[in-house]
Homo-oligomer: A and B are copies of this chain.
Amino acid sequence: MINRLTTTDAGFDTRLDALIADRASATDVAAPVAAIIARVRAEGDAALIDLTTRFDRFTLTSATLRVSTAEIDAAVDALPQAQRAAIDLAATRIEAFHRAQRPADFTFTDADGITLGLRWGPLDAVGLYVPGGKASYPSSVLMNAIPARVAGVARIAMVVPTPDGVMNPLVLAAARRAGVSEIYRIGGAQAVAALAYGTATIAPVDRIVGPGNAFVAEAKRQVFGRVGIDSIAGPSEVLIIADADNDAHHIALDLIAQAEHAEDSQSILVTDSADLADAVAAAIGAALQTLPRAVIAAASLASHGAIVLVRDRAEAVALTNRIAPEHLQIMTADPVGDFAEIRHAGSVFLGQYAPTAIGDYAAGPNHVLPTAGTARFSSGLSVFDFLKRTSTTSLTRAGLAAIGPAAAILAEAENLAGHGRSIMDRIG
Protein backbone atom coordinates (compact mmCIF):
# COMPACT_ATOMS: atom_id res chain seq x y z
CA MET A 1 0.00 0.00 0.00
CA ILE A 2 2.81 2.39 0.91
CA ASN A 3 6.59 2.02 0.99
CA ARG A 4 8.17 1.42 4.42
CA LEU A 5 11.73 2.61 5.14
CA THR A 6 13.89 2.76 8.25
CA THR A 7 16.90 5.01 8.49
CA THR A 8 18.96 2.21 10.02
CA ASP A 9 18.35 -0.08 7.03
CA ALA A 10 21.27 -0.86 4.77
CA GLY A 11 20.63 0.99 1.52
CA PHE A 12 18.33 3.57 3.11
CA ASP A 13 19.92 6.52 1.34
CA THR A 14 19.70 4.87 -2.06
CA ARG A 15 16.06 3.92 -1.57
CA LEU A 16 15.17 7.41 -0.37
CA ASP A 17 16.98 9.04 -3.27
CA ALA A 18 15.08 6.84 -5.71
CA LEU A 19 11.78 7.76 -4.07
CA ILE A 20 12.37 11.49 -4.15
CA ALA A 21 13.93 11.51 -7.61
CA ASP A 22 12.33 13.82 -10.14
CA ARG A 23 8.76 12.70 -10.80
CA ALA A 24 8.02 15.30 -13.45
CA SER A 25 7.54 13.87 -16.91
CA ALA A 26 9.57 15.52 -19.63
CA THR A 27 7.49 15.65 -22.78
CA ASP A 28 9.31 17.66 -25.45
CA VAL A 29 6.72 19.91 -27.04
CA ALA A 30 9.05 22.81 -27.91
CA ALA A 31 8.49 22.65 -31.68
CA PRO A 32 4.67 22.53 -31.78
CA VAL A 33 4.51 25.24 -29.10
CA ALA A 34 6.86 27.49 -31.09
CA ALA A 35 4.62 27.01 -34.14
CA ILE A 36 1.49 27.94 -32.17
CA ILE A 37 3.12 31.07 -30.73
CA ALA A 38 4.28 32.15 -34.19
CA ARG A 39 0.74 31.70 -35.54
CA VAL A 40 -0.81 33.79 -32.76
CA ARG A 41 1.76 36.54 -33.33
CA ALA A 42 1.04 36.54 -37.06
CA GLU A 43 -2.73 36.01 -37.11
CA GLY A 44 -3.96 37.20 -33.70
CA ASP A 45 -7.62 36.51 -32.91
CA ALA A 46 -8.03 34.38 -36.05
CA ALA A 47 -5.44 31.91 -34.76
CA LEU A 48 -7.13 31.76 -31.35
CA ILE A 49 -10.51 31.07 -32.98
CA ASP A 50 -9.13 28.36 -35.26
CA LEU A 51 -7.11 26.60 -32.55
CA THR A 52 -10.07 26.67 -30.15
CA THR A 53 -12.25 25.00 -32.76
CA ARG A 54 -9.59 22.35 -33.20
CA PHE A 55 -8.68 21.64 -29.56
CA ASP A 56 -11.81 22.60 -27.61
CA ARG A 57 -14.46 21.72 -30.23
CA PHE A 58 -16.56 24.88 -30.28
CA THR A 59 -16.75 28.02 -32.38
CA LEU A 60 -15.61 31.42 -31.16
CA THR A 61 -15.65 34.87 -32.71
CA SER A 62 -13.65 37.95 -31.73
CA ALA A 63 -16.86 39.15 -30.06
CA THR A 64 -17.27 36.00 -27.91
CA LEU A 65 -13.58 35.43 -26.97
CA ARG A 66 -14.22 37.37 -23.80
CA VAL A 67 -16.73 36.00 -21.30
CA SER A 68 -19.45 38.65 -20.90
CA THR A 69 -20.51 40.24 -17.65
CA ALA A 70 -23.96 38.78 -18.18
CA GLU A 71 -22.53 35.26 -18.42
CA ILE A 72 -20.55 35.73 -15.21
CA ASP A 73 -23.63 37.18 -13.47
CA ALA A 74 -25.72 34.22 -14.51
CA ALA A 75 -23.11 31.67 -13.40
CA VAL A 76 -22.62 33.30 -10.01
CA ASP A 77 -26.37 33.70 -9.44
CA ALA A 78 -26.96 30.02 -10.13
CA LEU A 79 -24.43 28.83 -7.55
CA PRO A 80 -25.60 27.37 -4.24
CA GLN A 81 -25.33 30.00 -1.52
CA ALA A 82 -23.01 27.72 0.52
CA GLN A 83 -20.47 27.64 -2.33
CA ARG A 84 -20.56 31.41 -2.74
CA ALA A 85 -20.04 31.82 1.00
CA ALA A 86 -17.16 29.34 0.97
CA ILE A 87 -15.44 31.26 -1.82
CA ASP A 88 -15.94 34.48 0.09
CA LEU A 89 -14.52 33.08 3.33
CA ALA A 90 -11.47 31.69 1.55
CA ALA A 91 -10.91 34.92 -0.41
CA THR A 92 -11.22 37.07 2.69
CA ARG A 93 -8.61 34.99 4.52
CA ILE A 94 -6.22 34.86 1.56
CA GLU A 95 -6.50 38.64 1.21
CA ALA A 96 -5.71 39.18 4.90
CA PHE A 97 -2.56 37.06 4.79
CA HIS A 98 -1.28 38.63 1.58
CA ARG A 99 -2.01 42.16 2.78
CA ALA A 100 0.27 41.44 5.75
CA GLN A 101 3.09 40.72 3.26
CA ARG A 102 3.08 44.12 1.59
CA PRO A 103 6.55 45.62 1.98
CA ALA A 104 7.24 49.24 2.88
CA ASP A 105 9.22 51.72 0.82
CA PHE A 106 12.18 53.33 2.53
CA THR A 107 14.43 56.36 2.15
CA PHE A 108 17.38 57.33 4.29
CA THR A 109 20.05 59.98 4.22
CA ASP A 110 23.47 58.90 5.40
CA ALA A 111 26.41 60.70 7.00
CA ASP A 112 27.70 61.85 3.59
CA GLY A 113 24.36 63.56 2.91
CA ILE A 114 23.50 60.95 0.27
CA THR A 115 19.84 59.94 0.09
CA LEU A 116 19.06 56.38 -0.97
CA GLY A 117 15.67 54.78 -1.33
CA LEU A 118 13.70 51.78 -2.45
CA ARG A 119 10.22 52.07 -3.90
CA TRP A 120 7.87 49.13 -4.54
CA GLY A 121 5.28 49.32 -7.28
CA PRO A 122 2.80 46.91 -8.85
CA LEU A 123 3.05 45.47 -12.33
CA ASP A 124 0.61 47.14 -14.73
CA ALA A 125 -1.04 43.97 -16.05
CA VAL A 126 -0.94 40.27 -15.21
CA GLY A 127 -2.19 37.22 -17.08
CA LEU A 128 -3.63 34.26 -15.17
CA TYR A 129 -3.76 30.84 -16.79
CA VAL A 130 -6.47 28.55 -15.38
CA PRO A 131 -6.64 24.96 -16.63
CA GLY A 132 -9.91 23.71 -18.06
CA GLY A 133 -11.96 20.59 -17.53
CA LYS A 134 -11.33 18.49 -14.43
CA ALA A 135 -8.29 20.44 -13.23
CA SER A 136 -10.20 23.74 -13.31
CA TYR A 137 -9.89 24.72 -9.66
CA PRO A 138 -11.61 27.79 -8.20
CA SER A 139 -9.13 27.68 -5.31
CA SER A 140 -6.24 28.22 -7.74
CA VAL A 141 -8.00 31.26 -9.19
CA LEU A 142 -8.15 32.77 -5.71
CA MET A 143 -4.54 31.86 -4.88
CA ASN A 144 -3.15 33.36 -8.10
CA ALA A 145 -5.35 36.42 -8.54
CA ILE A 146 -5.65 37.71 -4.97
CA PRO A 147 -1.90 38.36 -4.41
CA ALA A 148 -1.85 40.31 -7.69
CA ARG A 149 -4.86 42.37 -6.63
CA VAL A 150 -3.40 42.98 -3.15
CA ALA A 151 -0.13 44.09 -4.79
CA GLY A 152 -2.13 46.72 -6.64
CA VAL A 153 -2.11 45.26 -10.16
CA ALA A 154 -4.76 47.22 -12.06
CA ARG A 155 -5.48 44.66 -14.79
CA ILE A 156 -5.74 40.89 -14.32
CA ALA A 157 -6.58 39.04 -17.54
CA MET A 158 -7.59 35.42 -17.06
CA VAL A 159 -7.64 32.71 -19.72
CA VAL A 160 -9.43 29.40 -19.22
CA PRO A 161 -10.13 26.78 -21.86
CA THR A 162 -13.77 25.66 -21.94
CA PRO A 163 -13.83 22.30 -23.76
CA ASP A 164 -17.05 21.98 -25.81
CA GLY A 165 -17.88 25.49 -24.64
CA VAL A 166 -18.69 24.40 -21.09
CA MET A 167 -17.64 26.85 -18.36
CA ASN A 168 -17.10 26.05 -14.67
CA PRO A 169 -19.38 28.48 -12.77
CA LEU A 170 -17.27 28.22 -9.57
CA VAL A 171 -14.20 29.35 -11.50
CA LEU A 172 -16.12 32.36 -12.80
CA ALA A 173 -17.36 33.14 -9.28
CA ALA A 174 -13.84 32.87 -7.85
CA ALA A 175 -12.51 35.13 -10.61
CA ARG A 176 -15.12 37.76 -9.86
CA ARG A 177 -14.50 37.59 -6.11
CA ALA A 178 -10.71 37.79 -6.60
CA GLY A 179 -10.96 40.90 -8.74
CA VAL A 180 -10.10 39.45 -12.17
CA SER A 181 -10.68 42.17 -14.77
CA GLU A 182 -11.21 40.13 -17.96
CA ILE A 183 -11.87 36.45 -18.72
CA TYR A 184 -11.16 34.83 -22.10
CA ARG A 185 -12.35 31.33 -23.00
CA ILE A 186 -9.13 30.13 -24.56
CA GLY A 187 -6.36 27.80 -23.36
CA GLY A 188 -3.17 26.02 -24.31
CA ALA A 189 -0.04 27.57 -25.77
CA GLN A 190 -2.20 29.90 -27.88
CA ALA A 191 -3.65 31.53 -24.77
CA VAL A 192 -0.17 32.11 -23.33
CA ALA A 193 0.95 33.61 -26.65
CA ALA A 194 -2.07 35.93 -26.71
CA LEU A 195 -1.31 37.16 -23.18
CA ALA A 196 2.36 37.72 -23.99
CA TYR A 197 2.04 39.39 -27.40
CA GLY A 198 -1.54 40.61 -27.47
CA THR A 199 -4.15 40.34 -30.24
CA ALA A 200 -6.83 42.72 -31.51
CA THR A 201 -9.09 41.65 -28.62
CA ILE A 202 -6.58 40.85 -25.83
CA ALA A 203 -4.08 43.47 -24.67
CA PRO A 204 -0.65 42.07 -23.70
CA VAL A 205 0.31 41.62 -20.03
CA ASP A 206 3.61 41.96 -18.16
CA ARG A 207 3.66 38.64 -16.31
CA ILE A 208 1.87 35.31 -16.71
CA VAL A 209 1.13 33.01 -13.75
CA GLY A 210 -0.88 29.89 -13.10
CA PRO A 211 -0.61 26.13 -13.60
CA GLY A 212 -1.03 24.29 -16.88
CA ASN A 213 -0.15 21.18 -18.84
CA ALA A 214 3.14 20.54 -20.70
CA PHE A 215 2.11 22.81 -23.62
CA VAL A 216 1.27 25.68 -21.30
CA ALA A 217 4.50 25.26 -19.32
CA GLU A 218 6.59 25.20 -22.52
CA ALA A 219 4.76 28.24 -23.89
CA LYS A 220 5.53 30.15 -20.68
CA ARG A 221 9.19 29.16 -21.01
CA GLN A 222 9.24 30.42 -24.61
CA VAL A 223 7.64 33.81 -23.88
CA PHE A 224 9.84 34.40 -20.82
CA GLY A 225 11.85 37.56 -21.35
CA ARG A 226 9.03 39.17 -23.29
CA VAL A 227 7.01 38.84 -20.06
CA GLY A 228 7.75 37.50 -16.59
CA ILE A 229 6.51 34.01 -15.62
CA ASP A 230 6.08 32.10 -12.38
CA SER A 231 8.00 28.88 -11.78
CA ILE A 232 6.91 25.67 -13.45
CA ALA A 233 5.25 23.54 -10.76
CA GLY A 234 5.96 19.84 -10.51
CA PRO A 235 3.83 17.14 -8.87
CA SER A 236 2.48 18.07 -5.43
CA GLU A 237 3.93 16.63 -2.21
CA VAL A 238 3.59 16.55 1.57
CA LEU A 239 5.96 15.50 4.32
CA ILE A 240 4.55 14.90 7.80
CA ILE A 241 6.75 14.73 10.91
CA ALA A 242 4.73 13.03 13.65
CA ASP A 243 5.52 11.64 17.07
CA ALA A 244 3.72 8.79 18.82
CA ASP A 245 1.02 11.02 20.28
CA ASN A 246 -1.11 11.31 17.13
CA ASP A 247 -4.30 9.98 15.59
CA ALA A 248 -3.24 7.51 12.87
CA HIS A 249 -6.52 7.95 10.99
CA HIS A 250 -6.00 11.70 10.63
CA ILE A 251 -2.47 11.22 9.33
CA ALA A 252 -3.64 8.53 6.92
CA LEU A 253 -6.20 10.98 5.53
CA ASP A 254 -3.55 13.71 5.18
CA LEU A 255 -1.33 11.33 3.18
CA ILE A 256 -4.29 10.27 1.04
CA ALA A 257 -5.40 13.87 0.46
CA GLN A 258 -2.06 14.61 -1.14
CA ALA A 259 -2.03 11.33 -3.04
CA GLU A 260 -5.51 11.81 -4.51
CA HIS A 261 -4.30 14.79 -6.58
CA ALA A 262 -2.53 12.58 -9.12
CA GLU A 263 -0.52 9.41 -9.40
CA ASP A 264 2.74 11.37 -9.39
CA SER A 265 1.95 13.12 -6.08
CA GLN A 266 4.12 12.24 -3.11
CA SER A 267 3.12 11.65 0.53
CA ILE A 268 5.77 10.92 3.15
CA LEU A 269 5.37 10.30 6.87
CA VAL A 270 8.48 10.60 9.04
CA THR A 271 8.06 9.26 12.57
CA ASP A 272 10.13 7.97 15.47
CA SER A 273 7.27 5.72 16.56
CA ALA A 274 7.12 2.22 15.09
CA ASP A 275 3.61 1.88 16.52
CA LEU A 276 2.38 4.99 14.75
CA ALA A 277 4.04 3.85 11.52
CA ASP A 278 2.14 0.55 11.69
CA ALA A 279 -1.11 2.21 12.68
CA VAL A 280 -0.97 4.73 9.82
CA ALA A 281 -0.17 2.00 7.30
CA ALA A 282 -3.24 0.12 8.47
CA ALA A 283 -5.41 3.23 8.58
CA ILE A 284 -4.57 4.09 4.97
CA GLY A 285 -6.11 0.89 3.73
CA ALA A 286 -9.27 1.44 5.74
CA ALA A 287 -9.66 5.09 4.76
CA LEU A 288 -9.11 4.46 1.06
CA GLN A 289 -12.15 2.20 0.90
CA THR A 290 -14.44 5.14 1.57
CA LEU A 291 -13.01 7.59 -0.96
CA PRO A 292 -13.97 8.11 -4.61
CA ARG A 293 -10.41 8.75 -5.83
CA ALA A 294 -9.01 5.68 -4.06
CA VAL A 295 -7.50 4.23 -7.23
CA ILE A 296 -5.42 7.33 -7.96
CA ALA A 297 -4.41 7.76 -4.31
CA ALA A 298 -3.43 4.11 -3.94
CA ALA A 299 -1.29 4.26 -7.08
CA SER A 300 0.46 7.39 -5.82
CA LEU A 301 1.11 5.93 -2.37
CA ALA A 302 2.42 2.66 -3.80
CA SER A 303 4.77 4.37 -6.27
CA HIS A 304 5.89 7.49 -4.42
CA GLY A 305 4.52 7.34 -0.87
CA ALA A 306 6.60 6.32 2.13
CA ILE A 307 6.51 5.85 5.86
CA VAL A 308 10.01 6.47 7.17
CA LEU A 309 10.96 5.31 10.66
CA VAL A 310 13.68 7.52 12.16
CA ARG A 311 15.66 7.12 15.38
CA ASP A 312 15.06 10.58 16.74
CA ARG A 313 14.07 14.18 16.17
CA ALA A 314 17.48 15.11 14.72
CA GLU A 315 17.09 12.50 11.98
CA ALA A 316 13.60 13.75 11.19
CA VAL A 317 14.88 17.32 10.84
CA ALA A 318 17.84 16.29 8.68
CA LEU A 319 15.61 14.21 6.41
CA THR A 320 13.17 17.09 5.98
CA ASN A 321 15.92 19.56 5.10
CA ARG A 322 17.25 17.05 2.57
CA ILE A 323 13.85 16.67 0.89
CA ALA A 324 12.85 20.38 1.16
CA PRO A 325 9.14 19.52 0.87
CA GLU A 326 6.45 21.68 -0.71
CA HIS A 327 4.10 21.11 2.26
CA LEU A 328 5.32 20.18 5.75
CA GLN A 329 3.11 19.18 8.68
CA ILE A 330 4.85 19.15 12.07
CA MET A 331 2.73 17.10 14.45
CA THR A 332 4.96 16.89 17.52
CA ALA A 333 4.93 18.08 21.12
CA ASP A 334 6.78 21.27 20.14
CA PRO A 335 5.99 22.11 16.51
CA VAL A 336 7.18 25.73 16.75
CA GLY A 337 10.50 24.63 18.27
CA ASP A 338 10.96 21.93 15.66
CA PHE A 339 10.15 24.37 12.85
CA ALA A 340 13.04 26.56 13.98
CA GLU A 341 15.41 23.82 12.76
CA ILE A 342 13.74 23.39 9.37
CA ARG A 343 15.60 25.38 6.73
CA HIS A 344 13.75 24.35 3.58
CA ALA A 345 9.97 24.00 3.16
CA GLY A 346 7.36 25.82 1.10
CA SER A 347 4.48 26.03 3.58
CA VAL A 348 4.43 24.61 7.10
CA PHE A 349 1.44 23.41 9.12
CA LEU A 350 1.94 23.29 12.86
CA GLY A 351 0.19 20.94 15.25
CA GLN A 352 -2.54 18.35 15.04
CA TYR A 353 -5.31 20.60 13.77
CA ALA A 354 -3.52 21.99 10.75
CA PRO A 355 -3.89 19.56 7.85
CA THR A 356 -2.39 20.64 4.53
CA ALA A 357 -5.89 20.56 3.02
CA ILE A 358 -6.96 23.58 5.06
CA GLY A 359 -4.07 25.47 3.49
CA ASP A 360 -5.14 24.35 0.03
CA TYR A 361 -8.34 26.34 0.44
CA ALA A 362 -8.87 28.65 3.30
CA ALA A 363 -6.08 29.19 5.85
CA GLY A 364 -4.74 32.22 4.01
CA PRO A 365 -1.14 31.43 2.93
CA ASN A 366 -0.69 30.65 -0.74
CA HIS A 367 -1.05 27.11 -2.08
CA VAL A 368 1.18 27.79 -5.11
CA LEU A 369 4.44 26.47 -3.69
CA PRO A 370 7.90 25.26 -4.72
CA THR A 371 8.01 21.52 -5.52
CA ALA A 372 10.71 18.89 -6.14
CA GLY A 373 13.15 20.28 -3.61
CA THR A 374 13.15 23.78 -5.06
CA ALA A 375 12.13 25.13 -1.64
CA ARG A 376 15.91 25.18 -1.16
CA PHE A 377 16.02 28.34 -3.27
CA SER A 378 12.49 29.47 -4.06
CA SER A 379 9.24 30.42 -2.37
CA GLY A 380 5.50 30.21 -2.75
CA LEU A 381 3.50 32.75 -4.72
CA SER A 382 3.10 36.06 -2.90
CA VAL A 383 2.53 39.76 -3.38
CA PHE A 384 6.26 39.98 -4.16
CA ASP A 385 5.58 38.19 -7.46
CA PHE A 386 3.44 41.12 -8.58
CA LEU A 387 5.64 43.95 -7.32
CA LYS A 388 8.88 45.36 -8.59
CA ARG A 389 11.46 47.55 -6.88
CA THR A 390 13.10 50.72 -8.07
CA SER A 391 16.11 52.04 -6.17
CA THR A 392 16.75 55.79 -5.96
CA THR A 393 19.97 57.72 -5.46
CA SER A 394 20.08 61.44 -4.75
CA LEU A 395 23.33 63.30 -4.19
CA THR A 396 24.40 66.82 -3.47
CA ARG A 397 27.64 68.17 -4.88
CA ALA A 398 29.24 67.57 -1.47
CA GLY A 399 27.98 63.99 -1.39
CA LEU A 400 29.39 63.31 -4.82
CA ALA A 401 32.68 64.88 -3.79
CA ALA A 402 32.81 62.57 -0.76
CA ILE A 403 32.45 59.29 -2.63
CA GLY A 404 33.20 60.19 -6.25
CA PRO A 405 36.99 59.82 -6.14
CA ALA A 406 36.73 56.22 -4.89
CA ALA A 407 34.29 55.41 -7.69
CA ALA A 408 36.63 57.00 -10.23
CA ILE A 409 39.53 54.86 -9.00
CA LEU A 410 37.45 51.72 -9.58
CA ALA A 411 36.29 52.99 -13.00
CA GLU A 412 39.90 53.60 -13.97
CA ALA A 413 40.84 50.08 -12.84
CA GLU A 414 38.03 48.71 -15.03
CA ASN A 415 39.24 50.75 -18.06
CA LEU A 416 36.06 52.81 -18.09
CA ALA A 417 37.49 56.31 -18.11
CA GLY A 418 34.24 57.87 -19.30
CA HIS A 419 32.61 56.70 -16.08
CA GLY A 420 35.29 58.45 -14.06
CA ARG A 421 34.94 61.65 -16.05
CA SER A 422 31.15 61.76 -15.70
CA ILE A 423 31.75 61.80 -11.92
CA MET A 424 34.91 63.91 -11.60
CA ASP A 425 33.99 66.66 -14.08
CA ARG A 426 30.99 67.46 -11.84
CA ILE A 427 33.13 68.06 -8.75
CA GLY A 428 36.40 69.17 -10.31
Q: What residues of chain A have their CB less than 8 Å away from a CB belonging to chain B?
A: 82-83, 85-87, 89-90, 93, 96-97, 100-101, 103, 106, 108, 110, 114-116, 118, 121, 123-124, 134, 137-139, 170, 206-207, 225, 227-228, 232, 249-250, 253-254, 256-257, 259-261, 287, 290-293, 297, 335-336, 339, 342-366, 370, 372, 374-380, 382, 384, 388-397, 399-400, 403-407, 409-411, 413-423, 425-427
Contacts and interface: CB of A to CB of B under 8 A. Distances in A.
Given A83-B413, A418-B291, A393 B358 contact: yes
12 contacts: A123-B377, A124-B376, A253-B421, A253-B422, A253-B425, A257-B418, A347-B390, A348-B391, A357-B411, A357-B419, A357-B420, A376-B388
Contacts of A399: 353
Contact of A350 (B118, B393, B425): B393
A98 to B, nearest CB: 10
B348 A390 contact: yes
A243 B208 CA distance: 38
Given A123-B376, A228-B377, A293-B418, A396 B353 contact: yes
Contacts of A347: 390-393
Q: Which 7 A-B pairs have the closest CB atoms?
A: A365-B391, A361-B407, A228-B377, A253-B422, A357-B419, A86-B406, A350-B394
A393 B348 contact: yes
Contacts of A418: 253, 256-257, 259-260, 291, 293, 297, 357
B355 A426 contact: yes
A97 B339 CA distance: 30
Contact of A256 (B97, B139, B363, B422): B422
Given A139-B414, A342-B390, A379-B389, 19 more contacts: A116-B364, A124-B343, A134-B415, A138-B410, A228-B374, A249-B425, A291-B421, A293-B418, A347-B392, A347-B393, A353-B399, A355-B423, A357-B420, A360-B419, A365-B391, A365-B392, A365-B393, A366-B391, A375-B388
A406 B85 contact: yes
A246 B329 CA distance: 61
Nearest to A370: B388
Contact of A206 (B124, B345, B361, B376): B376
Contact of A393 (B343, B354, B411): B354
A377 B206 contact: yes
B254 A357 contact: no
A245 to B, nearest CB: 15
Contact of A257 (B370, B415, B419): B419
Contacts of A407: 86, 90, 357-358, 360-362
A362 B110 CA distance: 13
B353 A400 contact: yes
A358 B287 contact: no
A147 to B, nearest CB: 12
A225 B403 contact: no
A419 B358 CA distance: 8
Contacts of A409: 82-83, 86
Nearest to A137: B414
A225 B371 CA distance: 10
Nearest to A251: B422
Contacts of A253: 418, 421-422, 425
Contacts of A89: 403, 406
A225 B374 contact: yes
A411 B87 CA distance: 11
Given A207-B377, A358-B395, A395-B363, A121 B389 contact: no
A334 B176 CA distance: 41
A417 to B, nearest CB: 5
B250 A425 contact: yes
A251 to B, nearest CB: 9
A138 B362 CA distance: 49
Contact of A292 (B206, B361, B417): B417
